[in-house]
A and B are shown apart, each in its own frame.
Chain A
């Protein structure tokens, strides 16, 4: 069964450093998402991406964050200057279409630790 993959599984970085989290969505999917989950808290929506541009973003997704689809398979989340509070699990998800009935397929996540 096709699945969403994410790399790395765990990233440790120093505060102020840039990180790039990578995702490979399911190949025929058109709509991509990033969510995050701070330890012990809810899963929170960050951003959605469709047709090579941001579709929607939350208040969390400020100027420190950016997303890109650099080629036909990867979808990346960049945090320009990490803060301690960016430490969280980051989940990528994709859907085949852009309907609210579409199943979102989530990756296993990247654990980001900011020291």
Chain B
């Protein structure tokens, strides 16, 4: 499976935008880029996914580089409730998700 690299931790101020980066230089043409998050003491939760084009939903936006070797999850206005571990996951032929260590996002009031 192609591997992803994310910073261990990031901080943001409440109500400010947050850009969470992910590198996936060995991504294959059929790999989808998924983002999940895990709030404290909860199960993982889907955030967004995309293949080539940028994607928006009610939770976040996903910006995918033209060469697809990196992507950025954008939270437009971070709230305290967004404090979580964010996982960038490549999904190819395997249906199961392979979680890395993710990025621990701390939101400061």
Tell me the A residues contacting B by CB distance below 8 Å: 4, 31, 33, 35, 42-45, 48, 55-56, 58, 91, 93, 95, 98-109
Contacting pair B101 A42 (CB below 8 A): yes
Residues from chain B with a CB closer than 8 A to the CB of A103 are 46, 49
Contacting pair A100 B42 (CB below 8 A): no
User: For chain B, which range describes its interface: under 10, 10 to 19, 20 to 34, or 35 or more residues?
Assistant: 20 to 34
Contacting pair B94 A100 (CB below 8 A): yes
User: How many angstroms from the CA of A43 to the CA of B46 in the assembled complex?
Assistant: 14
Besides the contacts A56-B94, A100-B92, A101-B32, what 18 more A-B pairs have beta carbons closer than 8 Å?
A42-B99, A42-B101, A44-B99, A45-B96, A45-B98, A56-B95, A58-B96, A93-B43, A98-B95, A100-B32, A100-B91, A100-B95, A101-B91, A103-B46, A104-B36, A106-B43, A108-B43, A109-B43
B44 interface contact, C-beta 8 A: yes
